[in-house]
Structure 1
Amino acid sequence: GWREAVAAAADALQAGGLVAVPTDTVYGVACLAQDSAAVRSIYSLKGRNGAKPLAICLGDVERLYRYCHVNVPDELLRDLLPGPVTLVLQRSEELNKDLNPFTSLVGVRIPNHPFMRDLAHACSGPLALTSANISSHGSTLTVLEFQDLWPQLSLVIDGGPIGDIQSPECRLGSTVVDLSVSGKFSIIRPG
């Protein structure tokens, strides 16, 4: 059942594993953001050169203040989150230095998906989250679409198809909104 799936995923993450998870946009791969070895594993899984940032995923807005410097009104955060957006904010000292070491910014997700929020609450710190696909390949809406990655994952949580798998719009991923500069915001990637 649901609770067992959350517990199994949390155990796999705490053991340093990578777990495929359903989100409110596309399938993702998560690891513990504070676990440097797991972060390196996610980069090699994606075939990334390490210069493409990973987002962090949290269970609620309150936790965001620990890992980010927020310079926008709390109501704005709560209007946008949880939801299919990635908010780009200034990172705080609390966040693992090995996660995106090349930037002072971090993208934050609070997916509007009960499994992801339960999982984020079950883990002590933030999750690092990326889409479940090889970089520059299309994003995935069913677990079968990324089965080439399965051997490198500790666990695959099958939440069924996400959205309308026929619709190209459903594959866009989250909308990325930059809130890192006080007084202005910009949409970096529409979703």
Structure 2
Amino acid sequence: DSGAVRSIYSLKGRHGGKPLAICLGDVDHLYRYCQVNVPDELLRDLLPGPVTLVLKRSEELNKDLNPFTSLVGVRIPDHPFVRELARACSGPLALTSANVSCQASTLTVAEFQDLWPQLSLIIDGGPIGDEQSPECRLGSTVVDLSVPGKFTIIRPGCALAPTVEILRQKYGL
């Protein structure tokens, strides 16, 4: 939905040059929206979880989503409600953190009350991590897997060590 994508960019204070991720319910759905050049097992070793994988986008994605790049970040959070919501939708969910760009990541709905008046719907699924843990505020670990045979860490995030271990030791990247 192009209008929804524009609303997110506006709310976040972003422009189309700073990409949004997509949220999917299952790894199987990823193949529709991305060009995958890594083993399926690798995807399943990292997802669902606190990792965003950056892959080449397919023609299936809305053209207004990240119009200035051929890549897209994909999240499959390890949160039952979010995954069920993503499964129930007819397409991917545009995904972003619940804060204005460059501000600290939020873990509860109360932490982004200033944005509530601009939102159509707020669903409180509980905290998305330990509120006392500084690592939880780092966001997901973002890994670019768009180039065959290698990976690039775009953001270290909260799952850097286990992600790098899987990529290097199990897959030799």
Q: Same fold (TM over 0.5)?
A: yes
Query: What letter is aligned with 2:111?
Result: E
Large movers: runs of 4+ above 3 Å: none
Distance, in Å, in 2 between the alignment partners of 1:182 and 1:45 is 35
In structure 1, what is the equivalent of residue 138 of structure 2? 172
Residues 42-95 of structure 1 show CA distances to partners (whole Å, capped at 9, x for unaligned) of 001001122110000001011100000000001000101111000000000111
Query: What letter is aligned with 1:43?
Result: Y
Matches within 5 A, 1:33-44: 35-44=1-10
Contact 2:12 2:100 in 1 (8 A): yes
How big is the alpha-carbon RMSD for the aligned residues of Structure 1 and Structure 2?
0.9
Distance, in Å, in 2 between the alignment partners of 1:169 and 1:180 is 26
- Establish whether residue 97 from structure 1 lines up as the match of residue 97 from structure 2: no
Offset at 1:187? 1.3
Distance, in Å, in 1 between the alignment partners of 2:127 and 2:22 is 23
In structure 2, what is the equivalent of residue 126 of structure 1? 92
Distance, in Å, in 1 between the alignment partners of 2:95 and 2:102 is 16
Which of 80, 94, 118 is equivalent to 2:46?
80
Where does the alignment leave 5 or more consecutive residues of structure 1 unmatched? 1-34
The alignment covers a number of residue pairs equal to 157
Distance, in Å, in 1 between the alignment partners of 2:134 and 2:15 is 27
Distance, in Å, in 2 between the alignment partners of 1:62 and 1:114 is 16
Where does the alignment leave 5 or more consecutive residues of structure 2 unmatched? 158-173
Residues 139-190 of structure 1 show CA distances to partners (whole Å, capped at 9, x for unaligned) of 1011111001001111111122332212221101100011000011121111
Distance, in Å, in 2 between the alignment partners of 1:39 and 1:141 is 22
In structure 1, what is the equivalent of residue 117 of structure 2? 151
Q: TM-score, normalised by structure 2?
A: 0.88
Which structure exhibits the higher relative contact order, with contacts defined as CA atoms closer than 8 Å and separated by 6 or more residues?
Answer: 1
What secondary structure, in the 3-state scheme, does the structure 1 residue paired with 2:127 have? coil
Distance, in Å, in 1 between the alignment partners of 2:72 and 2:127 is 28
Residues 106-164 of structure 1 show CA distances to partners (whole Å, capped at 9, x for unaligned) of 00000010001100011000000000001111110111110010011111111223322
Which of 137, 155, 163 is equivalent to 2:103?
137
Query: What letter is aligned with 1:173?
Result: G
What secondary structure, in the 3-state scheme, does the structure 2 residue paired with 1:131 have? coil
Query: What letter is aligned with 2:134?
Result: P
In structure 2, what is the equivalent of residue 4 of structure 1? none
